[in-house]
Homo-oligomer: A and B are copies of this chain.
Amino acid sequence: MTEPTVPPSRRMRRNLQRVTMTDVAAAADVSPSTVSLFLRRPGAVSDRIGARVSAAIEELGYVPNAMAGGLAAAGSRVVSVIVPSLRNAFFSETLSALEGLLAHAGLQVLVGHTEYSLAQEEALVRAALSWAPAAVVLTGQRHTDTTRALLRKAATPVVEMWELGGVPIDQAVGFSHAAVGHRIAQRFVERGYASAAFLGARLADDSRAGQRAAGFLAGMEAAARPARLLEDPDPASTGVGARLLARMLDAPVRAVACSNDTLALGVLFEAQRRGLAVPGDLAVAGFGDLDFAAQTVPPLTTIRPSADRIAAQVAACILARNTDPEASTSHDTGFTFMARESA
C-alpha cells in the first residue's frame, strides 16, 4: 500500500491564490457560511458579527470569487449586451446609460459587437450564455434561428432593444423606425418640398435604417411625391454623407432625409461647400438628435430616439425580472420630432 502523495503543483499554484472566504471567516472567528450570508444579505447578520466580518475583509483585502459564487448559485451577476457597433453613438450612449444603471444594481456588463452580422451575434450569444448571465440584451429583432433557440433554451431574460414590430423573444424595448420615416415624410409634405431623397448608409445590414428608409419612401409615395433612395455600402459617417450629396446632385432634389445625423452633418458641410443654402435650396433632416444637431448652421431638424429612455426601460425590464416571472411584452419608448431650421 503506497502513501497517497499529494501533488505539490496544485498547492503551489494555490499559494498565489487570493484570500478566500474561509480565511476571512477564520480572521473574524465565525463560520464561512456567516461570511457568505453577510456578503449577500448584511441585514441578516447581527451588527456585532457584521462589524467583525467587515473588519476582517478589509484587513485581509478579500475579494470574493465571482466564479465560485456564480457556480454555486447557478447564475451570475453579469448582463451581456450585444450591439451592432460600438462606434455608433446610438449604441455607445445606450451602453453607457445601461452600464451605469446596471452597475448601480450590482450587475456587470459583458459587451460584444456584431458588425451587423447575425452569425457574429450568434457566436456572441453562445459565449454570453456560458456565463449564465442574469440577462442578455440584444439589438434588433432579427436573429438566426440558432440564436433564438439558444436563448429560449437557456431560460434567461432576453431584451431586444432599438426595434419594435416583430414578435419578441422575451421582451422588446424600442420604437417603430417606419414611423420615424413617416414622420419625416410628413414634415417634407407639410413644407411642400417638390422632390426628395432618402440618403442611407449600409441599409442592407442595418435593418432599422432600412425601416426608416421604407417608412419615409412610403410616406412620400402616399402623398403622391415619390422620393429617390440613395445608399452607400460603407458605415454611416460624415464623409459618406458628403459623398452621397455629391452623388445626388446630378439630379438635384429639394430635400433630403438622412438615415442619421452623422450623414446629415456631412450633407450640411457639402452643401455649404457648394454654396447651397439650407433650407432655402436644400432642406436636410436627420435622425438621432446627436450632440451637435442643435448647434449646426442652420440647426438640424431631426428625430430624437432617446437612447437614455431605451436604456432605462431595458434596465427596468432586467431588474423587474426578479418579481415578474413570465411576460413577453413590447415597450414603446417612442421618439420626438425635433423641428429645427434645416427642414
Contact = CB atoms under 8 A, between A and B. Distances in A.
Secondary structure at the A interface, as helix, strand, loop or mixed, is: helix
A108 interface: yes
Contact of A66 (B99, B115, B131, B149): B131
A99 B124 CA distance: 11
A154 interface: yes
A78 B294 contact: no
Nearest to A299: B269
B295 A61 contact: no
Given A272-B297, A297-B272, A109 B110 contact: yes
Q: Interface residue tally of chain A, by bracket? A: 35 or more
Contact of A294 (B87, B89, B108, B239): B239
A96 B103 contact: no
With most chain B CB atoms within 10 A of its CB, the pick from A99, A273, A291 is A291
A78 B110 contact: yes
Contact of A87 (B93, B110, B149): B93
B111 A61 contact: no
With most chain B CB atoms within 10 A of its CB, the pick from A129, A131, A269, A297 is A131
A93 B99 CA distance: 17
A241 B242 CA distance: 23
Interface in A259-310: 262, 265-266, 269-270, 272-273, 291-292, 294-297
Interface of A: 13-14, 16-18, 61, 63-68, 70-71, 74, 76, 78, 85-87, 89, 92-93, 95-96, 99-100, 103, 108-113, 115, 124, 126-132, 149-150, 153-155, 237-239, 241-242, 262, 265-266, 269-270, 272-273, 291-292, 294-297
Which 10 A-B residue pairings sit nearest by Cβ, starting from the closest? A86-B96, A66-B130, A92-B92, A238-B292, A67-B70, A238-B295, A67-B71, A67-B67, A269-B295, A272-B297
16 contacts: A17-B74, A61-B149, A61-B150, A63-B126, A65-B130, A67-B67, A67-B76, A86-B95, A86-B99, A89-B89, A108-B127, A111-B111, A239-B295, A266-B295, A269-B292, A269-B296
